[in-house]
Structure 1
Amino acid sequence: MKAISYEETGPSSVLKLRDRPLPVPGPGKVRVRVVVSGVNPTDWKSRSGNGSKKLDAPKVPNQDGAGVIDALGPGVTGLSVGGRVWLWDVAWGSNEGTAQEYVVVPGNKAVPLPDTESFDTGASLGIPALTAHRALTSNEDGPARLSAGALAGRTVLVTGGAGAVGHAAIQLARWAGATVITTVSGEQKAELARRAGAGTIINYRTGDVVGAVHQVAANGVDMIVDVNAPANITTDLDVIKPGGTISIYAANPGESLTVPIRESMARNVRYQFILTYTVTDEQKRQAVAAVGEALAAGALRVGEEYGLPLTRFPLDQTPAAHDAVEQETVGKVLIDVAPAP
């Protein structure tokens, strides 16, 4: 089978197309024929490392993907050969990512993909949707698991609503019944956020973010899903309601955040830092279940018409796909690994 792998960290040129033996699933595991692999910032950052470093074993990149189960290991229940699935955290703690024709994963990491949804959607969930779910459930008195109406009566601010996590946060929050406000940097991104379902969209470069938020939520917002806390912290504190939560899920290497202590104390603000890989098992279980429920309800959609444009590459151009994500291509970057059945 064909696979992309790298033997040392570094630029995208370390990614090579190679032939590998077909893996056999062991107990509790399934083999998935990957149709689409999704690329996230964490994928190129992991591959890049902190300069060139020889790895102990070749590593296949990419955490997210979607495909069809083609073999079951002993003891697997609830899944069947031929089942369409979406995959999450595949390369975390493993050398086997989704940039290959077949991948073996634990059964719980292969989640049924409804027949009504595309493999593109399945490959776009993983890190973005699970991160968004944790951000939206980190409020102290909020639900541990999202469901239809679970955030009714609450107001959520999503900064960077045209990004993959922002897009998922808008869709999940809207499905859960929240009033959704988002900030973007221009009209093109504003249109994407509008298609995703945001109710109020603010251009932070030209508009009065604080004034516009308070027009919607006079007492402030319950939660902020923040892509750039160092740049937004002053505004965040101006618009968060007393006892509200600021969820922070992104940072550049070495970046730090200066927190205004007195202002945070005055509002009893809760800061929640999020890395989806290291949330608790229960938090991950709840997130996977909620994302699956939202997906079945048709609440999570991708593509230009739903506010998340797709940029595609074939498997042998995985280096270019990684470069596209590193260069902050708007929308979602996908790799076509094999034809859809």
Structure 2
Amino acid sequence: MKAAYFEETGPPDVIQFGDLPTPEPTNGQVLVKVGAAALNPIDTYIRNGANYWELPKPFVTGSDLAGTIETVGPGTQKYMVGQRVWGTNQGLVGRQGTFSEYAVVDEKWLYPTPDNVTDEAAAACALTGVTAHIGLGPDNANLQGGETIFVHGGSGGVGSMVVQMAKAIGATVLTTAGTDEKAKLCCELGADHVFNYKTQNVAEEVLGVCPDGVNVIWETIREPDFDFLVSIAAERCRMVLMAGRDARPEFPVGPFYVKECSLHGFVMFKATAAEMEVCGLDISRWLGEGKLKPQIGKVFPLSEAAAAHQLQEDNTLRGAGTLTGKIVVKP
């Protein structure tokens, strides 16, 4: 099978495109013919040498996939040959990735793709969708209908998922964007109030809409400004962090605890299969109902996986501003 893989970590050009043996499913696994895969920042961190866990060699990059079950291994119970599925959490914790024509996946990490949803759409909602669902759920933000949420960067991969899911829950959504185009996109996703962080005083604008502050804050940027965040927080505001692994920002301890705020950090790949299945089934349902729409910024053929990694890295780490939405890769 054709695959995008690397033997040693390093810059995007370490990724090779070539032939690898087609894997065979073992107990509880299925072989998926990949229709589409999606790229996430964590994929670039791993490729660049982030020492999270030991990688198999050669290592196929990629966390997300959507496709059709080609064969099933012994002991499988959920799916049959020919069913369309999507999933995430591959290429993580030492598992092989998804940038290949075929991928072996434990069936516990897969969810049904609705008939009216494309593989590209399902893949583009995978890791980002599960991340948003976990962060908004009872163990973190515990967002409720009728509450207010501020999402920092509502047009990004995770941010766009949070905006849409928060609206599906019944919350009032405030978010930011850096261009008129991205602001328009946020409105189309369902945001109630969008502020241009380059031309507006966001703190004043948020408090103009919510004088007592917001109930939930979702932070997507790598270096949070906690003075700003606490200033827009309501009493007992829940703040969610899911980026900035190396960040060491100043923290306004007094204002934070006087407002009785709480801070929640998480990484999606530490969720159990059972926890992620709750997310996956909701996401499948919302996709089928049209309540969740992926934002695809660029589609690459599998042979150009290195260029896809370069584009993601330029925007994640260097603020290039040349990407709105997810990168999808097609075998």
Question: Normalising by the residue count of structure 1, what TM-score does the alignment of the two structures yield?
Answer: 0.89
Q: Residue 201 of structure 1 aligns with which residue?
A: 194
Matches within 5 A, 1:1-341: 1-49=1-49, 57-137=57-137, 142=142, 151-228=144-221, 230-251=223-244, 254-302=246-294, 308-328=295-315, 329-337=323-331
Cα distance in 2 between the residues matched to 1:72 and 1:41: 30
Cα distance in 2 between the residues matched to 1:254 and 1:211: 29
Cα distance in 1 between the residues matched to 2:110 and 2:9: 28
The code of the aligned residue for 2:196 comes to N
Cα distance in 2 between the residues matched to 1:94 and 1:9: 14
Residues 290-337 of structure 1 show CA distances to partners (whole Å, capped at 9, x for unaligned) of 3233223221112xxxxx243011111000000111111221111111
Residues 166-210 of structure 1 show CA distances to partners (whole Å, capped at 9, x for unaligned) of 000011111111111101112121112112111100011211212
Please report how far the alpha carbon of residue 18 of structure 1 lies from its aligned counterpart in structure 2 after TM superposition.
Answer: 2.1
Residues 204-238 of structure 1 show CA distances to partners (whole Å, capped at 9, x for unaligned) of 12112122212332321111110126343222111
Q: Residue 148 of structure 1 aligns with which residue?
A: none
Give the conservation status (yes or no) of the 8 Å contact 1:32–1:71. Answer: yes
The code of the aligned residue for 2:19 comes to D
Cα distance in 2 between the residues matched to 1:232 and 1:138: 25
The verdict on how the C-alpha distance between 1:36 and 1:224 changes in structure 2, with shifts beyond 3 A counting, is: same
Residue 151 of structure 2 aligns to a residue in which SS? strand
What stretches of structure 2 of length at least 5 have no aligned partner?
Answer: 316-322
Residues 127-160 of structure 1 show CA distances to partners (whole Å, capped at 9, x for unaligned) of 21111112212576836xxxxxxx3111111101
User: Superposition RMSD on alpha carbons, in Å?
Assistant: 2.1
Give the conservation status (yes or no) of the 8 Å contact 2:124–2:296. Answer: no
Please report how far the alpha carbon of residue 16 of structure 1 lies from its aligned counterpart in structure 2 after TM superposition.
Answer: 0.6
Cα distance in 1 between the residues matched to 2:308 and 2:10: 15
Cα distance in 1 between the residues matched to 2:250 and 2:185: 31
Residue 68 of structure 2 aligns to a residue in which SS? strand
More divergent stretch after superposition (40-49 vs 289-298)? 289-298
The code of the aligned residue for 1:184 comes to A
What stretches of structure 1 of length at least 5 have no aligned partner?
Answer: 144-150, 303-307
Give the conservation status (yes or no) of the 8 Å contact 1:139–1:245. Answer: no
Cα distance in 2 between the residues matched to 1:287 and 1:234: 32
Cα distance in 2 between the residues matched to 1:312 and 1:229: 25
Aligned residues: 323
Cα distance in 1 between the residues matched to 2:39 and 2:189: 20
Question: Normalising by the residue count of structure 2, what TM-score does the alignment of the two structures yield?
Answer: 0.92
Cα distance in 1 between the residues matched to 2:219 and 2:189: 17
Q: Residue 319 of structure 2 aligns with which residue?
A: none
Residue 327 of structure 1 aligns to a residue in which SS? helix
Give the conservation status (yes or no) of the 8 Å contact 2:56–2:96. Answer: no
Give the conservation status (yes or no) of the 8 Å contact 2:141–2:238. Answer: no
User: Where in structure 1 do 4 or more consecutive aligned residues deviate above 4 Å?
Assistant: 138-141
Please report how far the alpha carbon of residue 31 of structure 1 lies from its aligned counterpart in structure 2 after TM superposition.
Answer: 0.5
The code of the aligned residue for 1:336 comes to K
Cα distance in 2 between the residues matched to 1:213 and 1:139: 26
